[in-house]
Each structure stands twice: as structure tokens, then as C-alpha cells.
Amino acid sequence: MSERVALVTGAARGIGRAIALALGARGWSVVINYRGSRDAAETAAAEIGASGGEAISVQADVSQAADRDRLVEAAIAWRGGIDLLVNNAGVAPRRRADLLETSEESYDEVMAINLKGPFFLSQRIAREMIRAREAGRPGAPKIVNIGSISAYTSSISRSEYCLAKAGMGMMTQLFADRLAQHGINVYEVRPGIIATDMTEGVTEKYDRLIADGLTPIRRWGQPEDVARIIAALADDALPFSTGEVINVDGGFHMRRL
């Protein structure tokens, strides 16, 4: 159990933190990636250690090639390989703006962190996973992308975020197709309205929408709801599935009359 290594990006807070803690509790050695929240990342690592697991925190901005390389090298140096990559790191636009006012700066920042970074990090780690399997490393390596209902739900005040998540949906399909021959399954977990830092500013709006029946399950999602799915995938619960999208959205994705 202790030889299984998971790298979770953006794991200092919110959904990523819940995923890291869930994996640590199940015996995974966890690399907690963070961009700026060092204290929060080290606290999460300490919590995993206190529960009997093992974790390290590594600062890296996934949008930067040099940082991605350093992150992967740190994980491999620590435990010799990576068996699970969870592409969770993501940002919302710094300012919600009408589609017709979206700036190139905001577009570039969101796309770089939410899509470009996960794409090239997956590419780098997939190569490492293939080499490790060829060298006889046991287990079934996996990549899990944390998408969003924004992949198919129009939100004209954060168009760059929607585009990045839509792109992540195709990215999941592409890597699932390419890596199946190597025994590497790829999944997308698609959260809905989850109580995190990212949704704090719209709490009143979503409270009202949920109460009015926006989702069949009338409550906010919690980071732990997403983490439970990741833990199941990590434990190889879906070995004959790849490219699969798993909704964690209270039923939002269903078309209803």
C-alpha cells in the first residue's frame, strides 16, 4: 500500500485537499502540489502524517514547464514513481466579466493553468508511467482530471473557465485513447456546485437556485463528495472503463421537464 504514489495538483485547499486526505487515509503516499498556499499545503501533509500516511508538499505552478519538471522530479525522487495523477489545480477568472469584455490576459491565465498545464503535466507523467510499467513497476497507473459542469453549461461571465473545462473533456478522451494500450486508464470527474473558496462569492445565488430545485439532490456538494470518487478510482473500482466522465453534481446533468 505504501508504495502507491499519488500526485494531486492544487491540493492545499478545497477539492484537492479533500482528495489528498482521502488518498492518504487509504495508504497512498501523496505529493501535495501547491502554487502559493505553503502553510495550507504543509498542514494537509501533516494531517496525512498524523493519520498514519505519508505526504510531502511541493510548490509548483503547473502552467510553467520548469515547474512541472521540478514537480515530477521531486515525486520520483521521493518514492521512485507516480501511480496516480490527479489534475485538480484550477483558477477562476480574477474578475467575472461579460463575454464581450473578456480580456486576453484573463483568457491566457485561466487557459494556461486549467488546460495547458494539465495537458503537458499528463504528457510528462504518462511517459514516466509507461517507462515504469516497462521496467516492471506493479499496479495499474491512472490519470484523473477534475473537470466541471462548466464544460457544457454556458456562463457568459466566465467564458474562459468554461472553454478550459470543455477542453479538458476532450483532453481526457485523447489521453484515454492513447494510453489504453499501456494499461493506463484515464477518467474525468465532473463536479457541480461544490462549497469551496471558488464559490464563496456566489453563495447566496446558489443557495437560492438549489432551494428552487436546480439540482435533484437539494444541497451543496462538498469536497469530500468528489474525494470519495477519486478514492474509488484509485482503488481500481473501474478497471474496464476509460475515458469515462463521472458526474458529482447532485444530478444537475440530467435534462428534466
Q: Specify the 3-state DSSP secondary structure of 140.
A: coil
Q: How far, in Å, CA of 189 to CA of 171, rounded?
A: 13
Residue 73 and residue 129 in contact, taking contact as beta carbons nearer than 8 Å: no
- The active-site residue, picked from 34, 107, 152, 161, is 161
User: Whose CA is closest to 26, among 248, 235, 188?
Assistant: 235
Residues 6+ positions from 75 with CB-CB distance below 8 Å: 5, 7, 31, 58, 81, 82
Is 34 among the residues known to form the active site? Answer: no
Q: What nine digits make up the cell of 244?
A: 469515462
Q: How far, in Å, CA of 86 to CA of 220, rounded?
A: 23
Angle between helices 14-25 and 38-50 (to 10 degrees): 20
Q: H or E element: which one contains 147?
A: none
Q: How far, in Å, CA of 177 to CA of 141, rounded?
A: 15
Q: What nine digits make up the cell of 170?
A: 476532450
DSSP notation for 196-222: SGGGGGGHHHHHHHHHTTSSSS-S-B-
Q: How far, in Å, CA of 49 to CA of 43, rounded?
A: 10
Residues annotated as catalytic are 161
